Structure 1
Amino acid sequence: MIILACATELECRHVMTRTGRKPDGDTRFDFAGLDFLACVTGVGPVAAALRAGELLERHPAAAGIVNLGICGSFDPRASLGAICVASAEIWPEYGVHSSDGAEEPFGFQMLQDLPLPQVNRLELDPSAAARSMGLRLPESWPCGTSLTVAGVTGDPQRAAILLARYDAATENMEGFGLALAARRKGIPFLEARTVSNPVGVRDKARWNFRLALDSLESVLPTLTGAAA
């Protein structure tokens, strides 16, 4: 069974559109010959980590976690609705922050039993994760570093700092917590998101949540080969 994790019921509903099912609590369903458990995690890294821990305790034989949802893009040229895959997850808020924009990760690990080479970064292998769960990751989907934040980036200056510091492709609010839970459990993790807005831009005329949500509807069929 693959855990299919979405932050909100709205995202989950769009992800499941072509399965013929709707989310109703934790919803277990078969699609394209694969066994899924669709779950709403709640918004933000704390909610996602708590929910992941609960799910893995209840379903210790889970084959992996797939995180689908919407995101912001650090590339102003990125098309709204485009699908992006996380090749690494970083939690930039785990550290010391100064008013001049300086940041420094803590010198100690988050978890005593899970030392990371970089304390706030998880390297991911999306192709290997997809294969191990019986999924098909299209080569045309771009991969890049994703930042997980507790509060979205609210201005271009902050966005520029994060882009320069982490060479980030996208910004989300749940990925790191879910990836960390999967790493601790020793199961694969795959994160694919659709772009809803440029990071740091608060002008809603440049957002398109509807397009990003509609684009989500093709992700699961493509990953499972049902769209072929």
Structure 2
Amino acid sequence: MLVVVAVDAEAEAVLRGAPAGRVTVVTAGVGPAAAAATTAFALAAGPHPLVVSAGIAGGFAPAAPIGATVVADRIVAADLGAQTPDGFQDVAALGFGTVAHTPPPTAVARVAQALGATAGPVLTVSTVTGSAERAAELTRRHPGAVAEAMEGFGVAEAAARHGVPALELRTVSNAVGPRDRAAWRIGEALGALERAFARLPYDSLLT
């Protein structure tokens, strides 16, 4: 499978955990545009039966506390749209495209069972949430959201255009809301990411 991460520390965690020969890992950089471009280039260079957007993320409490593992049942572009006098409208509501991809439900269920992961919408944002007010707005617009990150929708968009299924797998380093760097647990989340890739049900995902 092709695994797309944002930064080298995530790539190293995935490679430490994954059995030899099971994954090809590419480091895309931060954000949906970089993720989409890198995924598209990787898929054009050679076939992959599955693409996984992976890395650490902010978790929405209480569904996804620090250290938790989450798998997306929807990959959502949460801030792609327009602000209007009536509030935010996404590009789908404006008639300009899509803002969500749905990973294969069977694969999501297998990952959740194997890892003890929480399944739910994972939001892709271009601006990371830094306030309680925005966290509340996002959960109001996306009930059941478990995490926010910056690359999943870009990965899924590129995969869809190549006709390849996509998953998003994240481990939680911090709570979505006011930025408190002292409370972040990046090392703990990277350790959880390594363990997740050690325990993935590769055979059932790739058949």
TM-score bracket relative to the smaller structure: 0.7 to 0.9
Instruction: Report whether the alignment pairs 1:64 with 2:64.
Output: no
Task: Using the TM superposition, give the Cα deviation of residue 81 of structure 1 relative to its aligned residue in structure 2, in angstroms.
Answer: 1.2
Task: Using the TM superposition, give the Cα deviation of residue 93 of structure 1 relative to its aligned residue in structure 2, in angstroms.
Answer: 2.0
Q: Which residue of 2 aligns with 1:214?
A: 191
Per-residue CA deviations over 1:86-115 (Å, capped at 9, x if unaligned) read 0001112221114x78101232334xxxxx
Q: Which residue of 2 aligns with 1:149?
A: 125
Task: Using the TM superposition, give the Cα deviation of residue 150 of structure 1 relative to its aligned residue in structure 2, in angstroms.
Answer: 0.8
Q: Count the aligned residue pairs.
A: 200
Q: Which residue of 1 aligns with 2:100?
A: 121
C-alpha spacing 1:3/1:152, structure 2 compared with 1 (3 Å): same
Q: Which residue of 1 aligns with 2:78?
A: 92
Contact between 2:115 and 2:199, CA under 8 Å: does it hold in 1? Answer: no
Distance, in Å, in 2 between the alignment partners of 1:139 and 1:19 is: 14
Match of 2:177 among 196, 200, 223: 200
Per-residue CA deviations over 1:13-48 (Å, capped at 9, x if unaligned) read 01111458xxxxxxxx51xxx4x2111111110100
Distance, in Å, in 2 between the alignment partners of 1:88 and 1:159 is: 18
Q: Which residue of 1 aligns with 2:31?
A: 44
Give the aligned CA root-mean-square deviation in angstroms. Answer: 2.4
| 72-81 vs 3-12, greater mean Cα deviation | 72-81
Distance, in Å, in 1 between the alignment partners of 2:115 and 2:154 is: 26
Task: Using the TM superposition, give the Cα deviation of residue 128 of structure 1 relative to its aligned residue in structure 2, in angstroms.
Answer: 3.2
Distance, in Å, in 2 between the alignment partners of 1:176 and 1:78 is: 19
Contact between 1:136 and 1:224, CA under 8 Å: does it hold in 2? Answer: no
Over alpha carbons, which structure has the higher Rg? 1
Task: Using the TM superposition, give the Cα deviation of residue 136 of structure 1 relative to its aligned residue in structure 2, in angstroms.
Answer: 8.6
Which residue identity is paired with 1:38? Answer: V
Q: Which residue of 1 aligns with 2:60?
A: 74
Per-residue CA deviations over 1:91-149 (Å, capped at 9, x if unaligned) read 12221114x78101232334xxxxxxxx2122222533687xxx795273110001101
C-alpha spacing 1:199/1:9, structure 2 compared with 1 (3 Å): same
C-alpha spacing 1:163/1:14, structure 2 compared with 1 (3 Å): same
Structure 1 residues without counterparts, runs of 5 or longer: 21-28, 111-118
Identity %: 35
C-alpha spacing 1:120/1:217, structure 2 compared with 1 (3 Å): same
Distance, in Å, in 2 between the alignment partners of 1:74 and 1:125 is: 23
Q: In structure 2, the residue corresponding to 1:202 is in which secondary structure?
A: coil
C-alpha spacing 1:215/1:196, structure 2 compared with 1 (3 Å): same
Q: In structure 2, the residue corresponding to 1:220 is in which secondary structure?
A: helix
User: What is the TM-score of this pair, normalised by structure 2?
Assistant: 0.87
Q: In structure 2, the residue corresponding to 1:186 is in which secondary structure?
A: coil
Distance, in Å, in 2 between the alignment partners of 1:136 and 1:83 is: 9
C-alpha spacing 1:129/1:85, structure 2 compared with 1 (3 Å): closer
Distance, in Å, in 1 between the alignment partners of 2:137 and 2:108 is: 30
> Which 4+ runs in 1 deviate beyond 3 A?
128-131
Contact between 2:71 and 2:108, CA under 8 Å: does it hold in 1? Answer: no
Q: Which residue of 2 aligns with 1:172?
A: 149
